[in-house]
């Protein structure tokens, strides 16, 4: 099978997960790993299975990912799976469903099978800490706890989980 792992990543977390998924996919498939900026919608249509990855930005997929999903080419027989990293330790299932909605919608509109969405925590870039602590109105103690929880994520376990999910998608 031809498999594409494509992603948008500003501080490397989503890229880490992309690399783990690619490692799994490349074992038994003709797999490519490409940054979203390096691929066209026409090229995406040439793959049997596509994994598309995004950080969560203000409770939504990153803008370039949403843009790509909006112009994806119809392709019957193709499978599309998402992966998302976020700084929050975990979100309720219904929130994750809502975040993945643009991926599902792109599948529905283009005759593509939706193959689910993996997610895990990812460390927030240091440069954003002060602003986010303020925005979330957290005390220094609460913020220190938050930083402790997200330090080192995605970790080895996250990458193993991503690989297991990819294995399932690839059958
Ligand atoms: C502009 C911006 C907005 C963010 N909004 C959220 C958010 O709403 N919820 C959340 O859990 N994390 C949020 N984050 C944290 C990122 O989703 C998280 O750190 C992610 O792993 C970054 O991935 P990357 O390293 O691939 O860019 C935000 C980060 C940035 C830069």
The answer as to whether 133 is a domain residue is: no
Q: For position 76, which CATH number holds?
A: 3.40.50.360
pTM, full prediction? 0.97
The answer as to whether 145 is a domain residue is: no
Q: Which residue range forms the structural domain that includes residue 76?
A: 2-123+153-170
How many angstroms does the Cα of residue 67 sit away from the middle of ligand 1? 18
**Residue 80 corresponds to which tokens in the numbers above?**
């599309």
| Alpha carbons within 13 A on the beta-carbon side of 80 | 29
Q: pLDDT for 87-132, tens place per residue?
A: 999 999 999 999 999 999 999 999 999 999 999 999 999 999 999 9
Return the residue whose CA atom lies nearest to atom 19 of ligand 1: 124
The answer as to whether 128 is a domain residue is: no
Of ligand 1's listed atoms, the one at least distance from the Cα of 12 is 25
The answer as to whether 140 is a domain residue is: no
- As for how many domains the chain has, the answer is 1
Q: pLDDT for 24-59, tens place per residue?
A: 999 999 999 999 999 998 899 999 999 999 999 999
- CA 131 to mean position of chain CA atoms: 24
Tell me which of 37, 56, 129, 151 to substitute to probe ligand 1's pocket, judged by most ligand atoms within 8 Å of the beta carbon. Answer: 56
């Amino acid at each position: 099978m031809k498999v594409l792992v494509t992603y948008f990543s500003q501080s490397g977390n989503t890229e880490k997960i992309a690399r783990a998924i690619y490692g799994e996919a490349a074992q038994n498939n003709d797999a490519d790993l490409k940054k979203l900026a390096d691929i066209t919608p026409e090229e995406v249509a040439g793959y049997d299975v596509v994994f598309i990855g995004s950080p969560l930005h203000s409770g939504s997929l990153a803008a370039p990912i949403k843009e790509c999903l909006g112009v994806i080419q119809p392709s019957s027989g193709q499978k599309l799976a998402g992966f998302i990293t976020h700084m929050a330790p975990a979100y309720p299932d219904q929130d994750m469903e809502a975040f993945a909605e643009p991926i599902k919608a792109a599948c529905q509109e283009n005759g593509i099978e939706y193959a689910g969405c993996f997610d895990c925590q990812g460390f927030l870039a240091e440069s954003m800490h002060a602003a986010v602590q303020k925005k979330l109105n957290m005390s220094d103690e609460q913020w220190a706890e938050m930083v402790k929880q997200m330090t080192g994520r995605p970790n080895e376990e996250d990458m193993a989980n991503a690989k297991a999910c990819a294995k399932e998608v690839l059958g």
